[in-house]
Amino acid sequence: MGSLSRCSHAPHAVRGRRLVVLTAILVTSAAASSSPEAPGSSPPLADAEREAFLLEGKIVGDRSIPEGITLPRRVTLRQDDFEHDALVQTHDEHETRKHLEGGVELDFRDSWRNNVAAYRLDRLLGLGFVPVTVVRSYRQEPAGWSWWVDDVLMAEKDRYERGIDPPAPLGWVLQVFVVRVFDQLIYNFDRSLENLLIDQDWRAWMIDHTRSFKVFGELRDEKELPGRCERHLLAAMRRLDRPTLARTMEGLLSGRQIDGLLERRDKIVRFYDHLIATRGEPAVLYELPLRVRSADDPRDQPSPR
């Protein structure tokens, strides 16, 4: 699994395996891998509660994850009578030019900081596709701690390889479209199919963004932008502004990384504006059920009477 995950060091290694291919009819359910939760405890549900739990929970278990290159840890936390796991990432690497098997990668980044940045950007955009992630040191090292996703049915890799059709194929594809827009926005170099999890409700969870947020203003691959975009995601991308990003990403992203992000945002917005102008809004925009709200989402405002 790790070798696949990391084979995208070669820039085009995972190109062939598009996220949208749906083949077989059968839906089988894999064993759920949820974390231990004490019966009777009330689990933290809101982002702020989960953040507090990840920041303050006492470490009661710690194990390795037997795959991958960056070797994150799976740590069990406890607060009162509630236990839950966190993915702890300490890897932090940046090189302007890195020589890899597949050639030279420019502005190579593989950092825990990007896991936190991806979570905060996801919430600025009102998505709720990235598990809550906070900054907390681990064994005296700075690290990103992510909420372990409960009830994982399978990774997209397994779904694809086993040819499993989602119960609502269109709903799944429309979630994958969100992932593809997000990946262009953050210049994700590693959306290997292990890094997209599917929960029991067939909700997509984006994980492992350590290799994102290059400084480049170009899109990594404009062809990866789907022909349709979630309406609120597009509106939230339009609203992204430098002061908010600088404040939100302090200690995580440099000014140049934020500049690159905003330039890519401009390109993505232009891309969809052009599509809307030529095909019409109903053919381009769609809506998904709300998973979280962004801080300044107009949907939060009461409608004028």
Q: What is the DSSP code (8-state) at residue 138?
A: B
Question: Do 132 and 87 touch, CB atoms closer than 8 A?
Answer: no
Distance CA 109, CA 211 (A): 5
Least CB distance from residue 176 to Mg ion, whole Å?
Answer: 17
Among the listed ranges 62-70, 165-173, 266-274, 290-298, the one in contact with ligand ADP (CB under 6 A) is: 62-70
Tally of residues, the chain: 305
Among Mg ion, ligand ADP, none, what binds residue 70 when CB lies within 5 to 8 Å by partner kind?
ligand ADP
Least CB distance from residue 160 to Mg ion, whole Å?
Answer: 15
Among ligand ADP, Mg ion, none, what binds residue 72 when CB lies within 5 to 8 Å by partner kind?
ligand ADP
Among the listed ranges 1-9, 157-165, 198-206, 296-304, the one in contact with Mg ion (CB under 5 A) is: 1-9
Q: Under the criterion CB under 5 A, does residue 114 sit at the interface with Mg ion?
A: no
Nearer to ligand ADP, 129 or 272 (CB): 129
- Burial class of residue 204 (count of CB atoms within 10 Å of its CB; 0-12, 13-18, 19+): buried
Give the residue nearest to Mg ion (CB).
Answer: 208
Q: Under the criterion CB under 5 A, does residue 5 sit at the interface with Mg ion?
A: yes
- Binding mask 129-148 vs ligand ADP (x if CB under 6 A, - otherwise)? --x--------------x-x
Distance CA 92, CA 88 (A): 12
The 3-class SS string of 190-208 reads CCCHHHEEEECCCCEEECC
Distances (CA, A) of 273 to 13, 216, 237, 256, 278: 31, 22, 12, 26, 9
Q: Which of residues 196-215 bind Mg ion (CB under 5 A)?
A: 208
The site for ligand ADP, by CB under 6 A, has a size of 19
Nearer to ligand ADP, 72 or 226 (CB): 72
What lies within 8 Å, CB to CB, of 221 at 6+ separation is 184
Out of 89, 195, 212, 257, point to the residue binding Mg ion (CB under 5 A). Answer: 195
Q: Is 197 left (phi over 0), alpha (psi -120 to 50) or beta?
A: beta
**Residue ranges in contact with ligand ADP by CB under 6 A:** 2, 5, 65, 67-70, 72, 87, 131, 146, 148-149, 152, 194-195, 197, 207-208
